[in-house]
Structure 1
């Protein structure tokens, strides 16, 4: 069963990394094919259903979280924040870089890196170009802030690892908050250093006019027809109430998200036709994520129910020195840097992490620690050529992906190391 399991994981990874199959199709068909080959027969149906039942709460939460934050973006909840931050930045390179990091962190709360890129670049690229700052700073600061905030329960990495290991997303998330806070301090420090460096390079002085000639910048148009500026405070109160309910455990997280979504929709778009249009506008993202999570339930259900993952972990444990077994979480943390750069999150979290978790369990390592450790390489993953956001970012900045990677890779590695240090110090992975 160990060899069948390794072959199944390898086949899955090869198929999605070579783009022969989509992640959703591979997550379903590969385990079914290998399950039939292993002679599981009718037993496989129960395994698949068990796997999907276990991930159902996560899928529900993600669908309504995506719709909720998309509606809040449509309604203009972030507009006042953007205006205040850009007004604070002025023409001072130091303030501009700090403001870029702040806006990157705030707009990352929706769990979607692409929307963060669009908001931050749209707000700041004209400012950078008009005073001569390096636009690659925008990319770096988005990367450093987004990957720390993206540990939120509806963020991609947290949802995937919780699905793969059948853990509670809040347990994974809460343990990493202090380490992520340290990562944000690192991001702020980088923003400060870059701002000071740009001040010197551009010869900034208080009161000096830093504006260059008007630059023609092609940016995506922002559709403001759906914004509800008069409801900003109502929307903010609703989101704060949601955060309070989540923090106090008033109700299960999927329930909180479903109810908040319904309230947000009826408050901002009371007409039925408007509600249908807003849901339809974001349905593709929601359905894509939901199908991915349920498909992951098929994969992990077969992998676990068949005994493959146990056999694979025993084979893996046999080659690990006993002295290193108790440090599986730390090994996972450092291994996450190269793994997540050269693999998609789907291949890594659904293919590799369950094996690491099962191997760690042989040495008494909590799977929750493995789950958290597996997320610590996300700053490096953000520069992977396998993700869409980096191409959106490079396209908007009109720079090659290679230029972006060259500029940001070392600081990204630094962010991951700070993340790991914070997780160790706070006991999140040890």
Structure 2
């Protein structure tokens, strides 16, 4: 009965948010509450939800301060010289333009926000694509793939935050083994950009244009790169040192991630925006994105608390174990990576990482496999997720480029699936996930 109720709960939750009948925040709260009442846990449900919320508090704090830290670094202009360098370097060569798109996206994507990333990248690169009549589908695909890898494999990105928060795993333990996969994935996207750009070069040739004269005057580019009221070009080396110090401390694990980014965000604000009014404005500028995500994380904690407290997750894991052949047990992380490809395409991140991944993690425990490997394996399919027109940042990307969703899917699907498979192989080779035969 618990298996049926648990499966029904996840199914109803998925349908409601996929059909836009409820927001993730609302569905994560009301759906498990309803099913807990049906299962007869009415007197215990508040305790279950509270325990779940307590379990995600540290992750929510980490996410809040990490988003604020990287938001401040982007506001202060830490990455502006690199962005300008990319624009200067690519000129009229489609190969360089495609590679520049991938590199620029990877740099901007560090804040984990797809909307901001695509706004900056498209505003910066689209005039150049139009100038030489280059296929905008290449811009859409390379930027999407690059963002999906950086956002998906970093612990402050949306997918990881969801699973790590509800399962109570350490961010550093998740991230460090995936660093080689992250680097390899970005290199792979750069290679794909080279392939796509080379095809465009064959079609249109190399166009001799003066990029800087034509595009530094572009109003959209000026709005994203030359925000003189908030950028701090004189402090770029200080900000670079601070960012390197924070990332080094995160990787070494010498401090809890939430505390580390809290201190980093405060120091960054004091250095770049010393007045109280400036600090209030920076916090206000990033509050909307952060609070939306954190609300979902806390609601996801309540969802996980009910799933765990009612033992539905145990029942679902037991049922899953019973249908997987014993000889496949050691391959479970790879199986998770492969099944995550269709799941990430068909489901929202909230539905999959709050509803399904905890069940898979519980199943891994039964097999004697470290459940953190399940979370790592699940995020490797993120390149497929951003094909969904239900993802707000994807809608923005397609809208800014004036593309039809059908043409975008036809062009990007094969590259997204291939990239997910490459990430799984890279994770296997570098130890992000492992198998035992």
**TM-score when scaled to structure 1?**
0.94
Question: Does structure 1 conserve the Cα–Cα contact (< 8 Å) formed by 2:16 and 2:22?
Answer: yes
Question: Does structure 2 conserve the Cα–Cα contact (< 8 Å) formed by 1:340 and 1:378?
Answer: yes
Question: Does structure 2 conserve the Cα–Cα contact (< 8 Å) formed by 1:164 and 1:296?
Answer: yes
- Check if 1:60 corresponds to 2:65: no
User: Residues of 1 paired with 2:407 and 2:236: CA distance?
Assistant: 38
Deviations 1:190-235 (A, max 9, x none): 122122222221233xxx63579x8999958726132222222222
Does the residue aligned with 2:200 lie in a helix, a strand or coil? helix
Does the residue aligned with 2:223 lie in a helix, a strand or coil? coil
Deviations 1:392-418 (A, max 9, x none): 111111212222222111111110010
Q: In structure 1, which of residues 272, 278, 281 is the aligned counterpart of residue 282 of structure 2?
A: 278
Give the corresponding residue for 1:112.
Answer: 113
Deviations 1:116-148 (A, max 9, x none): 111111211111111222122111111221122
Deviations 1:368-410 (A, max 9, x none): 1111111111111111122011111111112122222221111
Q: How does 1:369-388 map to 2 (within 5 A)?
A: 369-388=373-392
Give the corresponding residue for 1:209.
Answer: 208
- Check if 1:239 corresponds to 2:238: no
Give the corresponding residue for 1:258.
Answer: 262
Give the corresponding residue for 1:18.
Answer: 19
Q: How does 1:116-265 map to 2 (within 5 A)?
A: 116-150=117-151, 151-204=153-206, 209=208, 219=220, 222=223, 224=227, 225-265=229-269
User: Residues of 2 paired with 1:318 and 1:251: CA distance?
Assistant: 41
Deviation at residue 37 of structure 1 after TM alignment: 2.1
Give the corresponding residue for 1:85.
Answer: 86
User: Residues of 2 paired with 1:91 and 1:217: CA distance?
Assistant: 16
User: Residues of 2 paired with 1:394 and 1:193: CA distance?
Assistant: 22
Question: Does structure 1 conserve the Cα–Cα contact (< 8 Å) formed by 2:124 and 2:220?
Answer: no
Deviations 1:332-358 (A, max 9, x none): 111111111111000011111122222
Give the corresponding residue for 1:102.
Answer: 103
Give the corresponding residue for 1:424.
Answer: 428
Does the residue aligned with 2:22 lie in a helix, a strand or coil? coil
Does the residue aligned with 1:39 lie in a helix, a strand or coil? coil
Q: How does 1:16-55 map to 2 (within 5 A)?
A: 16-55=17-56
Deviation at residue 52 of structure 1 after TM alignment: 1.4
**TM-score when scaled to structure 2?**
0.92
- Structure 1 residues 268 and 57, CA, compared in 2 at 3 Å: closer, same or farther? same
Q: How many residues align?
A: 426
- Check if 1:392 corresponds to 2:396: yes
In structure 2, runs of 5+ residues without a counterpart are none
Question: Does structure 2 conserve the Cα–Cα contact (< 8 Å) formed by 1:131 and 1:211?
Answer: no
Question: Does structure 2 conserve the Cα–Cα contact (< 8 Å) formed by 1:111 and 1:155?
Answer: yes
Question: Does structure 1 conserve the Cα–Cα contact (< 8 Å) formed by 2:62 and 2:258?
Answer: yes
User: Residues of 1 paired with 2:192 and 2:233: CA distance?
Assistant: 34
Runs of 4+ in 1 over 6 A off after TM superposition: 214-218
Question: Does structure 2 conserve the Cα–Cα contact (< 8 Å) formed by 1:326 and 1:360?
Answer: no
User: Residues of 1 paired with 2:382 and 2:66: CA distance?
Assistant: 21
Q: In structure 2, which of residues 365, 370, 375 is the aligned counterpart of residue 366 of structure 1?
A: 370
In structure 1, runs of 5+ residues without a counterpart are none
Deviation at residue 365 of structure 1 after TM alignment: 2.5
